[in-house]
Structure 1
Amino acid sequence: MNNNNQNNFNSQMPPQYYQYAYEQQQYMIYRAKVLSERKKQKRELLLVGIALGTTLIAYLLLQTISVGMLSMLGLKDAYESSPLMQYAFNVVAVHLFSMLVPFSLLAVILKKNFVAPLVPTKKVSGLKAAAWVSLGMAFCLLANIMTSAIMNISKNLFGYELSQSEYDGPQDIITCVMIVISTAIIPAIIEEFSLRCCTLGVLKKYGNGFAVFVVSIIFGLMHGNVIQFVFAFTLGIMLAYITIKTNNIFIPMLIHGLNNGMSVLKTIIEFAANEKAGETVTGILFYIWGVLGIAALIYLASTKSFKFEKKPKNPYDNSFGTKVLCVLPGLALPFAILLYLTSQYVTKV
């Protein structure tokens, strides 16, 4: 077709044709950009998953190195026979050295991922803070009940008993103080900073729901066996949710500390009195937290505290499932380690 005929053909086309052709072209450009950005996000998440998995492996490896140093220094026998030394080791080697260091490095390496301050410290009213703490503690009770149910099913239905390692009980007042510090205070501070500040901060860029889910998986994997994974994952969901809803890390820290403090209190009462007294006191506290949790649920619901601000869907964002699948390959080795460690505590009934 010569130029005259081409011009004549174009002049006969209706204006709607050109509008349609233009819209189709713009759509194809937009579609290509969406696919490109989603592909870019998948690559990012794959690297984030590898970084998270590496951090977990570093956490476990540093603990192994710490235990090895005990043997090298000839302190292993003293460690095994001294509850005070065991609890001190938990503070220095497990939390300050093995956990705080790698998770802080994670936050530094992936600092570009942060869309908010590392440590959320928004002011929350006293009544609302108390309600969140009460609800969190009630949720801890539910997580305990669920974990106990899983253990009973494993024992009664499948014939396998799942156990977990425990430290020796206190021998004196100094050990009691160290138990409080090493079990209730330090873990609440270091674990919440590592998980709900460093890790959650890295993940929130990809969506709050996704961040809550993945950081709870990390929290579960940190605890070393299936029993504690179930409990920590369940509790982690609530702690991460509260962190995002309140934008305040001190509330989850308090919940975490009070939850751990329940077992500490039972241990100390058993040392000071007897096992029955410890079970009685903690049983009463369970009921109190349950009632307070129900009241908190009603109060928070009535004040619309659970409501999330609706945000328009980002077309460049992958689906929740796709994002999780992108992160999981990096966590494959930590999951394998979890299964191996669990196998060391499984016994035939």
Structure 2
Amino acid sequence: MSENKSVNRLFLVVVVIYLSVSLGFSTLTALVPALRGMSVYVSILLSQSLVFVPCFLYCKLKKIKIRQLVPYRKINFATIVLVVVCTYLMYPLVVVLNAISMLFSTGGSASVAEMIMEGQSLTLNLICVALVPACVEEFMFRGLIFQTYRKSRMLPAILLSAFLFGCMHMNLNQFVYAFALGVYLAFLVEATGSIFSSMIAHFTLNATGVLMSWLLPMLYQAAGVDQMTQIPQGGFAANMEGAELFLFLMGIAVWGVIAIGTTCGAVGVYIAICKINHRWDHVKQMFSQGTKERMVTVSLVSGMALAFAFMGFSLWLERM
């Protein structure tokens, strides 16, 4: 069996396990009210284990030497700083893509804000919401999946691994910007030759969301504003009409202009990252290399279909 077929089966297995456990747990919490008070931290760590454990077992069963497949190469301090700067320059683009997707989806991700507003530990939030997902998700998507695909053709490997990264979020709103981030993170790995760069970028984005959610309530309190009236529910844009919708679209337009400028800046920083790591020649030539081995298989399509079916079903429930 080819490596692409094997890793595609891994993706299908992860999707099936993730959906089965998630739906089963949702049913169980509906039947056992006491479980509804379970810590959000436990829920997050459980969801991440549903991704990590199958990936770890896959490596053991296939006798894959992780350090040979996944590039855990040390990076210098200058690279770390530039990766953080580049990631923040990409942030306005993420904001725009997220806002656009909110026009069509009523699904959001308010759990982080809700968790912090309930007085939970900032340190635990950074570990569970920012650090653990960054390590686990990068291990699977920029590690096992992308590193396997890239042996065939680079551009399809970048796009397909990013697409699967978006699918795994199981949310239409998050899928859009997760796909764009997946592309960016794969390019970072190629720029540095190390998965640590994508982990740092991933952590930076997650940690920014955590810190903003932690700071906003304090700012509202200092300003004497009721924070609950300021925090919109997930997907609120899908329910806007008239002047409110117009203002939201104008906001997207303004952020769009900002995103164009900052993304151009990110490209410049990215080139600097490549040159610092002596990878610029590699990046310029990487799309001309590879084989013609097929990446898309029945297992892969099945996994993607299940993910989109779940997204569609969730969207239908939200609109009822």
1:90 match: 44
User: Structure 1 residues 336, 68: closer, same or farther in 2, change over 3 A?
Assistant: closer
Is the 1:46–1:330 Cα contact (8 Å) retained in structure 2?
A: no
The one-letter code matched in structure 1 to 2:76 is: S
Given the alignment, which residue of 289, 310, 319 partners 1:337? 310
* Residue 318 of structure 1, aligned match among 292, 296, 311: 292
Instruction: Give the letter aligned to residue 62 of structure 1.
Output: V
Distance 2:269 2:69 in 1: 28
Listed one character per residue, the Cα deviations across residues 149-187 of structure 1 (whole Å, up to 9, x for unaligned) are 2434x4xxxxxx533252224356543333222211211
Please say if residues 196 and 249 of structure 1, whose CA atoms lie closer than 8 Å, have aligned partners that are also in contact. Answer: yes
Match of residue 154 from structure 2: 208
Q: Is the 8 A contact 2:130 2:207 kept in 1?
A: yes
SS in 2 for 1:318: coil
| Aligned CA distance change for structure 1 residues 276 and 333 (closer, same or farther; 3 Å) | farther
Describe the shift of the 1:124–1:207 C-alpha distance in structure 2 as closer, same or farther (beyond 3 A): same
Cα distance change of structure 1 residues 47 and 119 upon mapping to structure 2, 3 Å threshold = closer
Percent identical:
20
Within the candidate set 102, 108, 115, 1:164 is matched to 108
Q: Which residue identity does 2:213 align to in structure 1?
A: T
CA deviations 1:40-71 (Å, max 9, x no partner) are 86xx6455434322222222223334445656
TM-score normalized by structure 1? 0.66
TM-score (norm 2): 0.71
Cα separation, 1, equivalents of 2:173 and 2:280: 29
Q: Based on CA coordinates, which of the two structures has the bigger radius of gyration?
A: 1
Mapped to 1, the partners of 2:41 and 2:31 lie a distance apart of: 20
Question: 2: distance between equivalents of 1:48 and 1:294?
Answer: 31
Aligned counterparts of 1:129 and 1:272: Cα–Cα separation in 2: 30
Q: Distance in 2 between matches of 1:47 and 1:127?
A: 37
| 1:149 match: secondary structure | helix
Q: Could you say what secondary structure the match of 1:163 adopts?
A: coil
The match for 2:183 is 237
CA contact (8 A) 1:45 1:326 kept: no
How far apart, CA to CA, are the structure 1 residues paired with 2:107 and 2:187? Answer: 29
CA RMSD of aligned residues (A): 3.7
AA aligned opposite 1:220: G
**SS of match in other structure, 1:274:** helix
What runs of 5+ residues in structure 1 fail to find an aligned partner? 1-39, 80-84, 155-160
2:97 to 133, 146, 152: 146
Counterpart residue identity of residue 90, structure 1 = I
Any stretches of 5+ residues in structure 2 without a counterpart? 231-254
